[in-house]
Amino acid sequence: MDAIQILRQNDLLRVIDDELDIYLEIPHIAYVEVKKPDSKALLFTNVVDKKSGRKFDTPVLMNIFCSPRAVELLIGDVEQTASRIQELLHMKPPSGFMDKISMFGKLFDLKSVFPKRLSGKGECQQIIKLGDDVNLYDMPVLTTWEQDGGPFITMGQVYTTSLDGKMHNVGMYRLQVYSKNELGLHWQIHKDSNHFFHQYKKAGVKMPVSIGVGGDPMYIWCGQAPLPIGVFELMLYGFIRGENAQLVKSITNDIYIPRDVDFVIEGFVDTTRLEIEGPFGDHTGYYTLEEEYPVLEVTAITSKKNPVFAATVVGKPPLEDKYMGYATERIFLPLLKTTAPDLIDYYMPENGVFHNLILAKMNVSYPGHATQLMHAFWGVGQMSFVKHAIFVDHNSPDLKNHTDITKYILNRLQADNILITQGVVDALDHSSPKFARGGKLGIDCTGEEIDHIGITLLSDDELLSRIKLISDEVTALKQYFTDTKTPICVIKTKKTRNQKYLIEDLKLFYENIKVLVIVDDAKNDINNSYMLIWRVVNNIDASRDIYIKNHLIAIDATNKNKLDNFNRRWPDDVDCTQSVIDSLIERKILDINKDFIDKFYL
């Protein structure tokens, strides 16, 4: 598939010929572009590294999945694919001759699922560099954020195999360039590659790894697909494309990779060696802190004669993963229903950075049913990393109708229907007291509307003025959804103490507030509900930051520190470098104003 040609033909490609730097400039442009309602893919043709004075012949392609239309063109009709999966999962034994013919046809279509190994070399091996010729700096690897630990490959397809060779995996992990022939491999604790790594470590042998960059965008999407452990993601490629993924053997190890990727980075991991990886401005909108990860010792770099370097940008939402995530959400709904058959639909808003917030619609059959489904979610594959889950009944509005579904929830929200528990959280989570383990919040909003508000509403100005008489910490206040049974009151504070003391001091106002949300005065706009949701679901650990006082539900979404007995280092927000943004605007490469910058917390 020639993705560039498809995007160009459908007016979804912007070609930028201006000279631009791999350090901050190119990723900042992509970061801005993906936030526009009419965003396009970007092809940078004049790529330089100003620090070294290097000019690259290789163009950089970013924002490939730039819109729902791009996803449809590059991946296909996701609803149709979901329907095909649903049909296969519910296939019954044939009852007659025509049923047998129909079933044979469906099963015959599955012949394309399994990847096909080719003999000989692929297009990805037209140019081969070995030994001293290996140099990762020959590729235009980007540095996205000022505090990043170095340049990172952000769209690398990492191909690995189990020790016995029976299981194969491709995952999309960030890859830090340490030197001309060393890469840091950020595969997280729950990933197949990490499981394979420990097999090789136990056996005391080096682990072969090959990394593809570019090629059919379907490879990229498959690399982040939440398939069950042991299922090779390129089988999904064959199922959707209707043709086998065609693989060729790497030059210096036995890993097979797609013949048509643009670059292949091959090598071996010494399982006795770990190095500090990061920091890195990640898709949570915060920097991921430094941790030890394996290192790939690169033995070969191969490529097409005229390759294109594919990359993505991560940071605060919305991002390219908004569109990739939608396809994943739709296609994997039928698989999720096999574990949770009462599930009707689910939605993971991009400003909840996917694993931090899920809304789920279900058929309720008995008391406690929603709570049962919460536990099912937290025990299923990558759903186990979801921190906050809200469940609604079958008669609720469309989950993507943000206003209507929020009102539905707030008309049913009460303290008795809140479940707080503990479990595994994503390794990128920064708010929990311990690495990869923290609080979980489940809310059952499947019942009938609650009877009455039970509070006396005041105007924003009056409530703020009265609160300021009690505490000079509070600087601003805004109430949301005052037409529901459970209005939300957001306050900003200049934090000087643990916020549980502020919540206690505000007890005089429990008769005026039902849900209280506290955020820091700095870097928050209480009128920007989209980014407030991003901030709150990122910043809270349910077992520490939710307080229930009679009917009041209080949420402390401030940054945590020693005042909260928080002993981990709290990371910084991912922010654009102002001088870079100013320069790009001055050169008329970016066309944005202060309102745009403020809206997305750039």
Q: Which of 276, 311, 346 is the last residue of a domain?
A: 311
Mean pLDDT lowest for which of 23-27, 357-361, 406-410, 447-451?
447-451
**pLDDT for 332:** 83
CA dihedral 73, 78, 80, 83 (to 10 degrees): 160
Q: What's the order of all strands across the beta sheet hosting 437-445?
A: 343-347, 358-362, 388-393, 437-445, 418-424
Closest among 176, 258, 164 to 220, alpha carbons compared: 258
Closest among 49, 76, 211 to 140, alpha carbons compared: 49
SS3 317: coil
Give yes or no: residues 194 and 248 share one domain.
yes
Q: Mean per-residue pLDDT for 521-536?
A: 97
Number of Cβ within 10 Å of residue 474's Cβ equals: 20
Distances from the Cα of 432 to the Cαs of 8, 280, 367, 421, 429, in angstroms?
Answer: 44, 19, 31, 13, 7
How high is the mean pLDDT of the chain? Answer: 92
Structural domain of 467: 460-564
> Does residue 536 register a pLDDT over 80?
yes
Give yes or no: residues 436 and 365 share one domain.
yes
Provide the greatest CA pair distance for the chain.
81
Q: What is the pTM of this model?
A: 0.93
Dihedrals φ, ψ of 81, to 5°? -65, -45
Give yes or no: residues 436 and 471 share one domain.
no
Q: Mean per-residue pLDDT for 345-368?
A: 93
Q: How confident is the model at residue 52 (pLDDT cuts 50, 70, 90)?
A: very high
Label the pairing between strands 20-21 and 47-49.
parallel
Phi-psi region of 13 (alpha: psi -120 to 50; beta: other; left: phi over 0): beta
> Does residue 396 register a pLDDT over 90?
yes
Distance CA 291, CA 282 (A): 14
Residue 584 lies in a domain: no
> Does residue 387 register a pLDDT over 90?
yes
Q: Mean per-residue pLDDT for 179-208?
A: 90
CB 47 within 8 A of CB 300: no
Residue 598 lies in a domain: no
Give yes or no: residues 337 and 361 share one domain.
yes
Residue 398 lies in a domain: yes
Distance CA 16, CA 160 (A): 35
Q: How confident is the model at residue 380 (pLDDT cuts 50, 70, 90)?
A: confident
The CATH number of the domain where 378 resides is what? 3.40.1670.10
Give yes or no: residues 166 and 47 share one domain.
yes
Give yes or no: residues 388 and 353 share one domain.
yes
Closest among 446, 450, 531 to 484, alpha carbons compared: 450
Looking at the DSSP assignment, which residues form a beta bridge with residue 61? 43, 310
Kindly write down the DSSP assignment for every residue of 122-165, as one continuous string: -GGGSEEEEGGG--GGGS--BB-STT-SS-EESSEEEEEE-TTS
Q: Per-residue pLDDT tens for 237-257?
A: 888 888 999 999 999 999 999
Give yes or no: residues 334 and 415 share one domain.
yes
> Does residue 100 register a pLDDT over 60?
no
The CATH number of the domain where 269 resides is what? 2.30.110.10
> Does residue 154 register a pLDDT over 50?
yes
Q: Per-residue pLDDT tens for 361-377?
A: 999 999 999 999 999 88
Kindly write down the DSSP assignment for every residue of 374-388, as one continuous string: HHHHTTSGGGGG--E
Number of Cβ within 10 Å of residue 552's Cβ equals: 21
Give yes or no: residues 230 and 197 share one domain.
yes
Residue 602 lies in a domain: no
Percent of the chain with pLDDT over 90: 77
> Does residue 96 register a pLDDT over 70?
no
Q: How confident is the model at residue 308 (pLDDT cuts 50, 70, 90)?
A: very high
Q: Per-residue pLDDT tens for 281-297?
A: 999 999 998 999 999 99
CB 312 within 8 A of CB 147: no
CA dihedral 189, 194, 200, 203 (to 10 degrees): 20
Q: How confident is the model at residue 95 (pLDDT cuts 50, 70, 90)?
A: low
> Does residue 47 register a pLDDT over 90?
yes
Which distant-in-sequence residues (6+ apart) come within 8 Å of 366 by Cβ? none
Residue 589 lies in a domain: no
Residue 255 lies in a domain: yes
Distance CA 564, CA 582 (A): 37
Tokens of 420: 């707080």
**pLDDT for 211:** 98
Distance CA 30, CA 7 (A): 16
CA torsion through residues 559, 422, 376, 446, sign: negative
Give yes or no: residues 253 and 341 share one domain.
no
**pLDDT for 267:** 98
Percent of the chain with pLDDT over 70: 95
Give yes or no: residues 274 and 354 share one domain.
no
CB 417 within 8 A of CB 447: yes
Residue 90 lies in a domain: no
3-state helix/strand/coil string of 540-595: CCHHHHEEEECCEEEEECCCCCHHHCCCCCCCCECCCCHHHHHHHHHCCCCCCCHH
Burial grade of 246 (CB within 10 A; 0-12, 13-18, 19 or more): middle
Give yes or no: residues 197 and 296 share one domain.
yes
Residue 422 lies in a domain: yes
Distance CA 594, CA 602 (A): 10
Closest among 285, 278, 225 to 31, alpha carbons compared: 285
Which distant-in-sequence residues (6+ apart) come within 8 Å of 33 by Cβ? 14, 39, 40, 42, 62, 63, 66
**pLDDT for 240:** 87
Domains in the chain, number: 3
> Does residue 1 register a pLDDT over 70?
no
Give yes or no: residues 289 and 405 share one domain.
no
Q: Per-residue pLDDT tens for 208-241?
A: 999 999 999 999 998 888 877 778 889 888 888 8
